[in-house]
Amino acid sequence: MSSEQGSVIVRIAAQRPNNTCSGAVLCYNFRLMTDQRLKILSRRFIDYVNTFRDSSGELIPMLQLKLTHTKRVVQNARRIMQGERWQGPSLLEGELCALLHDIGRFSQFTEFGTFRDSESVDHALRGVEIIQKLDILEGVPAPAAQRIIESVQWHNKKALPAEMESSAAALAHLVRDADKLDIFKVMIEAVKDGSIETNPEITWGLSIKGAPNPEVVNAVIKGKPVDYSQIHALSDFILIQVGWVINGFHYRTALQITGERKVVEFHHKYLNTLTASPAIDLCCDAAYTALRSV
């Protein structure tokens, strides 16, 4: 399509915002509308985050961390959607889920001074409350808004409810996978800059050195979820991430990205500095096997 044709179509599209898609021109119109809608909705999110800035326009470091995390989760979600060949309105919904999934973190940290849900509030439920109270999804068709809200609500739970409608579950899985990919990155950066051993907020104040809990090792190897009460040492915490590689991702693309980023190699090396337990090689070898399957 030439740029002249494009500009004519844009003008036609702008004049017909309510038409349904029945041909090339109107399909372009739909795309234009979704792009505009995404811009408006992203603006609402940014406006909300801006309310937490101080008089010099800065966010405190822990909130800046969450904003940066959110942007990277959006990028991860885009890559997964591309790899999984999502199309049409699903792309917009997926992007919104990623953008809004941690919106509850800002007031959680401001009110309670922690990101630990068990010591404050369930940040996913807090997020749902904010989205609804501020009507952030205003203008999004009701069924899509419902799916997005459900994906935010369930993004941090151990598992999704069996009765969750499949298109809502697809979104929730997308956010959960994109979130995990960035949690890998946060961990790797924290190891590299040393903050993992100096900032207890990142790793819940766990003891740094020491062998992993055999119950955690057992669950990781079997690809089962780990009960957070079983986490005693930093090695348990990191092994949970190795466990995600074994059986924690829904989308094949997310596993492929994990392989590209050499996450297991990094975690393996770091774990070996924390403990000489043979369980480390056992778990990491299972993760390498999972990566070779994609």
Q: Footprint of Fe ion on this chain (CB under 5 A)?
A: 102, 156
Decide: 172 and 155 in contact? Cβ < 8 Å. Answer: yes
CA 254 to chain centre: 11
Other Cβ atoms less than 10 A from the Cβ of 184: the count is 20
Q: With respect to Fe ion, which residue has the nearer C-beta, 93 or 102?
A: 102
Residue with the shortest CB distance to Fe ion:
102
Q: With respect to Fe ion, which residue has the nearer C-beta, 44 or 101?
A: 101
For residue 67, give the nearest of 102, 109, 113 by alpha carbon.
102
Q: With respect to Fe ion, which residue has the nearer C-beta, 108 or 213?
A: 108
29 token code pair: 């119109």
For residue 239, give the nearest of 180, 293, 284 by alpha carbon.
284
Q: How far is the CB of 152 from Fe ion (least distance, A)?
A: 9
Q: What interhelical angle do 24-50 and 89-100 show, nearest 10? A: 10
Q: How far is the CB of 1 from Fe ion (least distance, A)?
A: 40
Cα–Cα distance for residue pair 83/77, rounded to 1 Å: 10
Q: With respect to Fe ion, which residue has the nearer C-beta, 178 or 221?
A: 178
Q: How far is the CB of 156 from Fe ion (least distance, A)?
A: 5
Burial tier of 85 (Cβ tally within 10 Å: 0-12, 13-18, 19+): exposed
Q: How far is the CB of 73 from Fe ion (least distance, A)?
A: 9
Q: With respect to Fe ion, which residue has the nearer C-beta, 10 or 186?
A: 186
Q: Return the exposure string of 186-211: e unless at least 16 CB atoms fall within 10 Å of the residue's CB, then b.
A: bbbebbeeeebeeeeebbeebeeeeb
Q: How far is the CB of 87 from Fe ion (least distance, A)?
A: 27
Q: What is the DSSP letter of 60?
A: P
Q: How far is the CB of 134 from Fe ion (least distance, A)?
A: 18
Q: With respect to Fe ion, which residue has the nearer C-beta, 156 or 277?
A: 156
Q: How far is the CB of 137 from Fe ion (least distance, A)?
A: 18
Q: How far is the CB of 65 from Fe ion (least distance, A)?
A: 12
Q: What is the DSSP letter of 150?
A: H
Cα–Cα distance for residue pair 196/4, rounded to 1 Å: 54
Q: Cβ contacts of residue 52 below 8 Å, gap of 6+?
A: 59, 60, 63, 106, 110
Q: With respect to Fe ion, which residue has the nearer C-beta, 151 or 156?
A: 156
Q: With respect to Fe ion, which residue has the nearer C-beta, 102 or 182?
A: 102
Cα–Cα distance for residue pair 33/18, rounded to 1 Å: 10
